[in-house]
Structure 1
Amino acid sequence: MTDRHTPSPDDIRPPPSEREAIENCIRSATTAPSLHNSQPWLFRIGAGVIDVYADRRRRLEVLDPTGRELLISVGAAVSTLALALRGAGYRADVGAFPDDGQPDLVARVTVGHRAPPSPAEEALVAAIPHRHTNRYPFTSCAIPAETLEQLIDAARQETAVLTVANPVSRNSIIGLSQAADRRQRATGGYRAELARWTTHRVLHHDGIPPSAIGPWDAMEIMPIRDFGLLQPHLTRAPETFEIHPTLMVLATTGDDPLEWVRAGQALQRVLLTATHLNLATTPISQPVEVPTVRRQLSDTANGIWAQMILRIGYGRPAATTPRRPLSDVLLPSLT
């Protein structure tokens, strides 16, 4: 005798079409991290492919004059898209800069035949909606060596290098970050650009909302960008951050647009791996936005260029940041 029940809407709803599945994967891709949550990406669905473009209109001219961080952001979105496709049961092959005549076409993701994701891929896909930049204090708990090794391996899988800063390097990075922050605040146009992306706005789908700014650092040591600088109306009680933060330097063997995209792919794989391991993360970009400071963090003689600093630890859940709707980032399909 079999059990019988009245069908629910979920029982009789047809499975999503391939187009719907792909659009859902693109929505996942838009959750990738980006400078000031600028979300500088566009997507086009083609026959068996998804093209990912850089949206140059969203480049931060003061902080990112070369577009390096813009391409890191797009690379992170490409990585997220490929993982989401794997989670949806498709093979996904990524080709960077597939058309020399279209420099803003950053990647072409080929949607292959059906194939189940691996357990490792499933874990990263599950972490996608839970990854958020965390600007709150972390605990003083040490991160196990094997956990740090998993993060290093995640970067290695994307041909990048992730290095844990020792105590001397950590103090040097903090000092360089503070110097870079002071220099940026004195740069013409910096405050106006910051205001563009952090001013409290209603019904906007980008930028840093007040809920994601975080508290003051009572010791004024932690090298986190102060998004509350131009919002004196916010009430932010000071909090004590960890005295000895765990900092990691993400670097690539080269410093051109292709390496910037790879850095973004590595960054997102590291961040999702950290999220899966219940770690909180804060990308720190000030020291790599000032060329003279960035060179001090790089080993240019051996072609190793610092692309991002990461703060890793255990902390409270972070707030989400808004995302642009699919209608804003999806280009019409070519006929």
Structure 2
Amino acid sequence: MDTSLLVRCVEAATLAPSLHNSQPWRFRIEGDVVEVYADPLRRLDVLDPTGRELTISVGAAVFTLRAALRAAGWIPGVETFPDPGTPDLVARVRPRRSARPGAGARELAAAIPRRHTNRRPFVSAVVPVAAVELLQQAAAHEGATLTIAGPASRTVIVSLGRTAAERLNRRGGYFAELNRWTRPVPGRRDGVPAAAIGPWDAMERIPMRDFGLVNSQPSRRGERFEAYPTIAVLSTEGDGPEQWLAAGQAMQRVLLVATGMRLATTPVSQPVEIASIREVLSDPKSGRWAQMLIRLGYGPPAAATPRRPLKDVLADG
């Protein structure tokens, strides 16, 4: 196996989305195996005390690594949580056998550098049913369910999003943690820069986090977002590390498929960061748990967020 190929695939994996662009992952190449680790030092203690969102972020990186390997002509094998004695070792990914990639695999990989979280207003165009079905198939492929909110449930989600924001704003350390990941620092290669924050929702229709609360911009103004946002709930059967990892892989597959269809996307986590609100979006009796919300639509291109250099995330084998 050509190590340089694995290095290129790891570099692609670092383009995955993560909470506050915290990039909570590390990689190690050992022979023909890429080990993917969670980086607990990059967990957000206030928002993510259990590490659920950290694991979802690492899952997104695992899927991106898989997609890059597949497009390079290899069918990847994945072993999750392979060593109970090393809990931060989330997955081992290895190319199992060579196979020519199909059009779908090539399209997924082509979407990796183009996918960006879009916090700007979307136009009012409806997401076609055919596109929604493809996104639902993408989630199902990774063992998750993607449910599009109807008018009534969308209203509930928007209301829950406002409630979640109010509760988070009162949580001790919340603003300090936001500031940690939005503070402009020369040469910074992580966090959410001002260019990626976008305007604030003047009508409060979108249940998104307002990073501008701590990163004030004199030119930042309220804008009208879409009146009837398309919001999807990504859920899994079960709610432990394995399911969180699967949710991250499903989320990234959905985001890349959406990007390939020229849809703009916004992962939304606020409503699932408050336990009582997350339960409302879930169905605990049946064991199905909401892991992430995703806003879908059509909008202007979003600014890319920075990524740490490979030397900071790839350990020597």
TM-score (norm 1): 0.93
Q: Which amino acid aligns with 1:249?
A: V
**Alpha-carbon contact 1:91-1:113 (below 8 Å) kept:** yes
CA offset digits 1:265-308 (Å, max 9, x no partner): 00000000000010000011000000000000000100000000
**Alpha-carbon contact 1:199-1:231 (below 8 Å) kept:** yes
Find the residue that maps to 1:182 and give its secondary structure.
helix
CA distance in 1, matches of 2:215, 2:193: 11
Unaligned runs of at least 5 residues, structure 1: 1-16
Find the residue that maps to 2:243 and give its secondary structure.
helix
Alignment correspondent of 2:279: 295
The runs of at least 4 aligned residues of structure 1 exceeding 4 Å deviation read none
Alignment correspondent of 2:136: 152
Identity %: 56
RMSD (Å) for aligned C-alpha atoms: 1.0
Find the residue that maps to 2:172 and give its secondary structure.
coil
Cα shift at 1:202: 1.1
Alignment correspondent of 1:198: 182
CA distance in 2, matches of 1:291, 1:138: 29
**What does 1:168-179 align with in structure 2 at a 5 Å threshold?**
168-179=152-163
Aligned partner of 2:170 among 186, 192, 197: 186
Cα shift at 1:22: 1.1
Aligned residues between the structures: 317
Q: Which amino acid aligns with 1:164?
A: I
CA distance in 1, matches of 2:185, 2:99: 43
**Alpha-carbon contact 2:263-2:298 (below 8 Å) kept:** yes
Q: In the alignment, does 2:266 pair up with 1:286?
A: no
CA distance in 1, matches of 2:110, 2:151: 33
CA distance in 2, matches of 1:139, 1:192: 33
Aligned partner of 1:263 among 240, 243, 247: 247
Cα shift at 1:182: 0.6
Aligned partner of 2:306 among 322, 331, 334: 322
Alignment correspondent of 1:227: 211
Alignment correspondent of 1:215: 199
Distance 1:332 1:186, change over 3 A: same
CA distance in 1, matches of 2:186, 2:17: 21
**Alpha-carbon contact 2:3-2:32 (below 8 Å) kept:** no
Alignment correspondent of 2:105: 121
CA distance in 1, matches of 2:163, 2:56: 23
CA distance in 2, matches of 1:99, 1:42: 16
CA distance in 1, matches of 2:66, 2:286: 31
CA distance in 2, matches of 1:232, 1:148: 36
**Alpha-carbon contact 1:48-1:112 (below 8 Å) kept:** no
Aligned partner of 2:238 among 250, 254, 268: 254
CA distance in 1, matches of 2:61, 2:126: 30
Cα shift at 1:231: 2.2
CA distance in 2, matches of 1:232, 1:257: 36
